[in-house]
Amino acid sequence: MIKKVTDHHALLPTLSAADAESETVPDSEMKILRLICSQLIYAVSPEHIYESTAITVAVPTLILPHWERKFLKWVGKNFS
């Protein structure tokens, strides 16, 4: 037999959660509080919105090194 849920309880952090001092609140409870706060923020925040940007990049390609051009010019070879 399935029992019907009649009551529902939730933990909703308030602004006073930000004032909770880590010295007075046990570490295990602070971890739970942080988890609850982060999940609440995740639940009510809008989805990520991305902007895409297309770019064109000109990359120089070495065709003939400078020293080789100088050498060919010195020996009398013609090049463009």
- Does residue 80 carry a pLDDT above 60? no
Span 22-42, average pLDDT: 84
Give the whole-angstrom CA distance, residue 38 versus residue 13.
10
Give the whole-angstrom CA distance, residue 13 versus residue 63.
65
DSSP 15-28: GGGGG--TTTS-HH
Give the whole-angstrom CA distance, residue 31 versus residue 48.
26
- Does residue 17 carry a pLDDT above 70? yes
Tell me, what's the pLDDT at 56? 92
Span 42-57, average pLDDT: 88
| CB-facing half-sphere around the CA of 13: CA atoms within 13 A | 18
